[in-house]
Structure 1
Amino acid sequence: MAFSLPDFWVWDFWTAIDGPTVHLYYLRAPVSLVDPHLRHRNASVGHATSLDYVNWTDHGVVLEHGEPGAADETATWTGSVYRDPSGLWRMYYTGSRYLRAGEDTNIETVLMATSNDLHEWVKASGVQLSASHPWYETLADYTWREEAWRDPWVVPDAAGDQWHMLITARSREIPTGDDPADRGVIGHAISRDLDSWTAAAPISAPGAGFAHLEVPQLVLVDGKKALIFSCDSSHLVGKRAGGAGGVWALALGDADPFSGGLVNLDDAQLIVGDELYAGRVVETPAGPALLGFENVGQNGEFVGRLSDPLPLRWSDDGRLVAFTRERVR
């Protein structure tokens, strides 16, 4: 059964695995707001657990917005959880600060919280990473409605001496083509201790047809590397404008996205459409699967609940394909 809450919308999410238990962290906001768009200003991070990605036990809210003036004074948004070599759990999450009522203008900052047990989380005061670097568009550039710097995803370097963070960002570089909105890139930061992070050049170039590339994730599916991200139809721009959006995958082959070369987003393929969003690849007892939140219903309304996992397979032509359970049978 899909994970849902009767009085709350559920959308972006991330997971941590501890033994047989899946810990789900998800964004939630009350349906009493009526307008689903308002959920972004009222998001907190909830927590649920499962043994199979299907049957869930909810544990309520673990992170809420901060005090006035804090980088997360409006809301807490999407992130990821990573267990450091000492055993400490670290949640890197997005702090959102809206500047004016009734407008989408907001500044996003990567923040951190820590936990010893994945249930109780304490915000850390020292870790703050913003888009204020030469490669990335900021609110002061007056080119976009927000300062995009969100959805941190942390992975260890293959050499074992540092860590990488993928970030939803926009390039300060003007892309080739006629659409100034076509600046979505995968941002990049590097750390040697998981506390201090240094922004680096993005791992993708602008001009690929995405106004933003949300919830990026590097994964292995049946031993093959892929970059997963989401961009809905309304944020396809440039050469992709008017096309169908949703959850995307880019097969990486043997390429190392951190070696200095740019990943070629022109080769990204759509896995599922706008009906699901913020897709994550998870390893279920039955094998790799795609999990997403149910986004657009049959009548175009926002749904706001988690899907059941969709099994993932590589096709003969090298594309990731998500299967319904009926197709698997």
Structure 2
Amino acid sequence: MKKNKMRPYLVQLCFFLSLLCCIKAPYCADYPNKPIKLVVPFSPGGGNDSVARVVAAKLTEKLGQQVFIDNKPGAGGTLGADFSAKSPADGYTIFLGGIGSLAINPVFNKSLPYHPTKDFEPIILLAEAPLIVVATPKLPVNSIQQLTEYMKTHPTQINYASNGNGSSAQLAAMMYESMANVKMVHVPYKGLAPALSDLLSGQVQIMFSSMVAIAPIVTSNRLKALAVTSKKRSSAFPQIPTMVEAGFPEYSTGSWYGLLAPAGTPLDIILKINRAANSCLQDPSVKEQLLKEGAEPIGGTSQQFKKYIQSELDKTLYLFNQQKLDVSN
């Protein structure tokens, strides 16, 4: 008797569950069915923008819908990150995150309008690249050792450019200042392009720049390359020594680039973009373009990228405490 009374409820429950499956399945099964916005939190012409455009072009082929770039520069990547975090979690807005927006700003700026891990779903780590220390030809130094000696005899006379407060360029410069016991004047710009313009004209003397964006200028010898910030020499510029070789054994930093979506984006959409992006990074033309500009393609799972972001946060916090760094100026 009890079985008969329960049967209508069981039938209704099964119907309800099947209805939920039917509602959700088409939502993700036909994804994407319209263009996808890839937010880059810096202006055109920088390393972030270069990596984004290389990947977006091939991702368009893989996903069957246009992936277009939306540059939203400002506040060292904060404006673009905040916009992306607050976008609909439907897979049609994705974010190109990096060390600035996801590891530096969260450590140095306690009033950020977004949280680097709670407000995003990591998709994939696209690439890593060392920074390169470049100087205007007008500066009478040709190595990091000479730069250090010059600054000790010309205190606070060196201006260094960066693509904004909280950028990887500023963090790299501050690490050098702390380890070399020297002081430079920070001049932040809204993106790499205007910073490079002033560096080339001699308005500023030094920059710790993303190798991805500056490679053609270094190749043409329009700027003097003093060092790379990785532990080992770059395969793109094997002739340029490392900061370690220059006498700073603990010095190591760089840029990295990854795709993220707003928190709450369905897992199957995350996985679909991840598979497509991994396929892009295996494409010979994409590999060649990234490597030529000094970026090493990485790839992997969304969970691996999630752990990577946390490790970068932990490393930046350690530097913050050990070196007493401050990116507020």
The TM-score range, normalised by the shorter chain, is: under 0.3
- From the CA coordinates, give the structure whose radius of gyration is larger: 2
Greater RCO between the two (CA within 8 Å, min separation 6)? 2
- Higher percent of residues as helix: 2
Kindly indicate which of the two structures has a greater share of residues assigned to strand. 1
**TM-score under structure 1 length normalisation:** 0.25
TM-score (norm 2): 0.25
